[in-house]
Amino acid sequence: MGFENKRVVIVGGGLGGMAFLNAALYAGLKNVQLYEQAPQFAEVGAGVNITSNANRVLDAFGLQESMTRKSSQRVPQSSLNLGKHLASIDRNTSEGSAPYTLHFEDGTTAEADIVIGCDGIKSNVRRDMGLGDSPNYSGQVVYRGFVDYKDLPEETAQLLRKTVNFRGPKRHVLILPIGNQETKTDRAAIIGFMSESLDSWDSESWMSRSDIDSLQEHVRDWCPQVQDIIAGLRKSSPDQKMLKQALYVRDPIDKWYEMKEGQKDAGIILLGDSAHSTLPHQGQGTCMAIESGIALATVLRHWKNDDLQGAFQFYQDLRKPRTDRVTQTSYEAGKLGSSESPDEMNDKFNPTALGERMKWIMEYNVLEDLKIKGAELLDFHDSRL
Ligand SMILES: Cc1cc2nc3c(=O)[nH]c(=O)nc-3n(C[C@H](O)[C@H](O)[C@H](O)COP(=O)(O)OP(=O)(O)OC[C@H]3O[C@@H](n4cnc5c(N)ncnc54)[C@H](O)[C@@H]3O)c2cc1C
Question: Which pLDDT tens digit goes with each residue over 300-356?
Answer: 999 999 999 999 999 999 999 999 999 999 998 888 877 887 677 777 777 788 888
Residues with Cβ within 8 Å of 228's Cβ and at least 6 positions away in sequence, in order, are 152, 153, 156
CATH number for 61: 3.50.50.60
> Which residues in the chain show pLDDT less than 70?
42-48, 61-73, 200-204, 342
CATH number for 203: 3.30.9.60
Angle at 103 between CA 38 and CA 249, to 5 degrees: 55
Do 165 and 68 belong together in one domain?
A: no
pLDDT at position 45: 54
Do 287 and 325 belong together in one domain?
A: yes
Look at phi and psi of residue 139 and say left if phi exceeds 0, alpha if psi is from -120 to 50, else beta.
Answer: left
Å from CA of 235 to ligand 1 middle: 28
Do 121 and 256 belong together in one domain?
A: yes
How many structural domains compose the chain? Answer: 2
Residue where one domain finishes, among candidates 249, 279, 305: 249
pLDDT at position 182: 76
Beta carbons of 215 and 237 less than 8 angstroms apart: no
Å from CA of 222 to ligand 1 middle: 31
Do 34 and 113 belong together in one domain?
A: yes
Strand-pairing partners, residue 168, are 171
Residue where one domain finishes, among candidates 182, 214, 249: 249
Candidate of 81, 141, 273, 323 to mutate for ligand 1, largest count of ligand atoms within 8 Å of Cβ: 273
Beta carbons of 173 and 166 less than 8 angstroms apart: yes
pLDDT at position 202: 61
Beta carbons of 137 and 143 less than 8 angstroms apart: no
Residue where one domain finishes, among candidates 228, 249, 270: 249
Å from CA of 121 to ligand 1 middle: 7
Angle at 125 between CA 122 and CA 129, to 5 degrees: 115
Residue 38 lies in domain: 8-133+250-373
Q: How far apart are CA 378 and CA 302, in angstroms?
A: 5
Beta carbons of 302 and 4 less than 8 angstroms apart: no
Strand-pairing partners, residue 303, are 378
Structure confidence by residue, pLDDT tens digits, 169-203: 889 999 999 887 777 788 999 999 998 887 766 65
What's the pTM value of the predicted model, to 2 decimals? 0.90
Beta carbons of 176 and 188 less than 8 angstroms apart: yes
Do 189 and 292 belong together in one domain?
A: no
Do 262 and 128 belong together in one domain?
A: yes
Q: Which atom of ligand 1 is nearest to the CA of 277?
A: 19
